[in-house]
């Protein structure tokens, strides 16, 4: 029983399945408070085409409507995808979050601030830190000062910095965390990477997670769906690693840039086919496999 009692559900799965209910918002609020750096109160989980409740929904996003410490309404997008062209994907997701939540014809001042938070369990470029932050700023080419925008609001001129308006991007590189967990952020990183939550934790949201995200507390159906999710991740990662190795090998054999490109392309194609085949063997519906892999229904049926 000790093994089950100390086993906690991966956060990337919990955020899609168990933390959408209002009673569990305290876990998400703690996570967002730590990584955004100010108290966050969730207003609601927004329904969008990305919020689909299936075991293969790790490829989609979660949109959250929240209120910050200044009482401002903000939109928060949490990404868990493992697909290629990831930076392009989060840019698309932010643009979609903005446009989905402003009515046509409304003034642009009603555009909401968006935070895009990515929990990355895979390699994304090179870097030595486990946490990266990106933000839009306009800097003078010659003077190096930051531009402030002045606009008229309610008969008064209000100065705002571009970073108060433009989206912010937070990349959490889980696999790069190799520290002793001392601060609230480090405690959260330890949970994201190893599933460890200290009994005496005071990090926002983690004490609540200890109570609500225990593996043994799930129903049999939830445990089965969770295990299928973990299996799908293992299969996906294995296929990607194999395809990358084979693509690089074929490129080296050719000894030419063209050979490397062709090898990588063939590796990516094989990756999709192998992933779809294994998902089909797991009993996933063809429509779901089509959505994840990008293969046609006919290709999947022929596997």
For residue range 232-252, list pLDDT tens digits in order: 766 666 655 555 555 554 455
Query: Could you give phi then psi for residue 181, rounded to 5 degrees?
Result: -80, 105
More confident residue, 93 or 28: 28
Upper half-sphere CA count for residue 296 (Cβ side, 13 Å) = 3
C-alpha 288/C-alpha 282 separation (Å) is 12
Alpha-carbon distance values, 131 to 142, 148, 171, 172, 174 (Å): 30, 27, 6, 5, 8
Contacts (Cβ under 8 Å, ≥6 apart) of 190: 177, 181, 196, 197
pLDDT confidence tier of residue 301, bands split at 50, 70 and 90? confident
Provide the pLDDT for residue 54.
Answer: 44
Provide the pLDDT for residue 57.
Answer: 41
C-alpha 120/C-alpha 130 separation (Å) is 10
For residue range 29-61, list pLDDT tens digits in order: 999 999 999 999 998 887 654 444 444 444 456
Average pLDDT of the segment spanning 212-230: 80
CB 167 within 8 A of CB 94: yes
- Mean pLDDT over all residues of the chain? 78
For residue range 177-209, list pLDDT tens digits in order: 998 888 999 999 999 998 889 899 999 999 999
More confident residue, 228 or 47: 228
User: What is the per-residue DSSP string for 14-47?
Assistant: HHHHTS-SGGGHHHHHHHHHHHHSS--EEEEEEP
Average pLDDT of the segment spanning 80-108: 79
pLDDT confidence tier of residue 285, bands split at 50, 70 and 90? confident
Q: Considering the entire predicted model, what is its pTM?
A: 0.70
pLDDT confidence tier of residue 159, bands split at 50, 70 and 90? low
* 111 CB burial (10 A radius; 0-12, 13-18, 19+): middle
Provide the pLDDT for residue 169.
Answer: 92
- Secondary structure (3-state) at 299: helix
Size of the chain in residues: 303
Provide the pLDDT for residue 13.
Answer: 82
More confident residue, 96 or 53: 96
More confident residue, 163 or 264: 163
- State the DSSP code for 142: T
């Amino acid at each position: 029983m000790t093994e089950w009692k100390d086993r906690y559900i991966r956060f990337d799965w919990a955020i899609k399945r168990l933390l959408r209910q209002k009673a569990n918002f305290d876990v998400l609020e703690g996570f967002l408070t730590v990584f955004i750096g100010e108290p966050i109160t969730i207003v609601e989980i927004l329904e969008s085409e990305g919020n689909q409740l299936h075991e293969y929904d790790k490829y989609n996003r979660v949109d959250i409507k929240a209120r910050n410490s200044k009482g401002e309404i903000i939109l928060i997008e949490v990404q868990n995808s493992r697909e290629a062209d990831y930076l392009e994907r989060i840019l698309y997701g932010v643009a979609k979050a903005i446009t989905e939540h402003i009515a046509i014809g409304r003034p642009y001042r009603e555009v909401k601030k968006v935070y895009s938070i990515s929990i990355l369990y895979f390699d994304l470029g090179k870097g030595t830190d486990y946490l990266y932050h990106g933000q839009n700023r306009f800097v003078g080419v010659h003077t190096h000062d930051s531009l402030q925008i002045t606009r008229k609001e309610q008969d008064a001129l209000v100065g705002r910095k571009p970073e108060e308006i433009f989206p912010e991007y937070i990349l959490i590189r889980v696999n790069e965390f190799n520290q002793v967990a001392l601060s609230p952020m480090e405690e959260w990183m330890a949970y994201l990477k190893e599933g460890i939550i200290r009994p005496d934790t005071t990090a926002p949201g983690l004490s609540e997670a200890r109570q609500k995200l225990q593996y043994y507390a799930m129903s049999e159906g939830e445990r089965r769906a969770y295990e299928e999710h973990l299996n799908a991740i293992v299969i996906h990662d294995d296929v990607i690693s194999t395809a990358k190795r084979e693509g690089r090998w074929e490129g080296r054999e050719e000894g030419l840039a063209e050979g490397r490109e062709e090898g990588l392309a063939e590796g990516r194609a094989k990756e999709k086919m192998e992933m779809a085949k294994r998902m089909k063997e797991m009993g996933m519906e063809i429509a779901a496999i089509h959505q994840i892999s990008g293969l046609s229904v006919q290709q999947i049926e022929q596997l």
